[in-house]
Amino acid sequence: MLFWLILAAVVTLLTVFKPADFSSKLMSATISMICYIGIFLFVTFTFARSLKKESAH
C-alpha cells in the first residue's frame, strides 16, 4: 500500500519537474493513474471489509 503511494508520488513529481516529451509524460501519467486507482481500490475494499466486521457484531 505504502509502496504504491510512494511510487505514484515519485512518478507524479518526475512528470511535473522533469522536462520530457509527450510520450514519456503520457506513460508516467498512465503509471501514476494505475497506482492511484490501485490505492483507491485497496482503501475501498479495506474499508468495506472492516465495515462488514463491525456490522456482524
Residue 22 confidence (pLDDT): 74
**Domain that residue 31 falls in:** 2-56
**41, 3 in Cβ contact below 8 A?**
no
- Sequence-distant (6+) residues with CB within 8 A of 36 are 8
Which cell numbers hold the place of 20?
520530457
Ranges of residues in the chain with a pLDDT under 50 are none
Whole-structure pTM value: 0.54
Per the structure, how many domains does the chain have?
A: 1
Residue 29 confidence (pLDDT): 80
Which cell numbers hold the place of 7?
511510487
Residue 11 confidence (pLDDT): 76
Residue 1 confidence (pLDDT): 66
